[in-house]
Amino acid sequence: MTAETLQGADRDAALAEVTDRGWTHDPDRDAISKTFTFTDFSDAFGWMTRAAMVAEQMNHHPEWSNVYKTVEVTLTTHDVGGLSTLDIAMASKMDRLAG
């Protein structure tokens, strides 16, 4: 999958889709972010491991941090200087993995 910059109506639709699922848009960075909260550290780390495997397959790696049962995620595509189709795809996969 290659990164395609999101523009126009496609961008608006993609942002509406992910914000409906709890992602927020940071216009200064042109990135989306979300906080995932799990039952405990083991669940959070397991989710991160599964998400890391997906990220490696996609060659699209998130910015993230973990404290106990909380994982903060930010997605943007540095190669295109902002949001791309890869970010939306990764957000969808992360949401599915989280259940």
Cβ–Cβ under 8 Å, residues 44 and 13: no
Which whole number is the average pLDDT over 52-69? 97
User: What is d(CA 32, CA 23) in angstroms, rounded to the nearest whole number?
Assistant: 6
For domain 8-13+25-98, give the CATH number.
3.30.1360.20
Sorted by where each begins, the domain ranges of the chain are: 8-13+25-98
pLDDT of residue 99: 92
Convert the pLDDT of each residue in 2-56 to its tens digit: 889 999 999 999 999 999 999 999 999 999 999 999 999 999 999 999 999 999 9
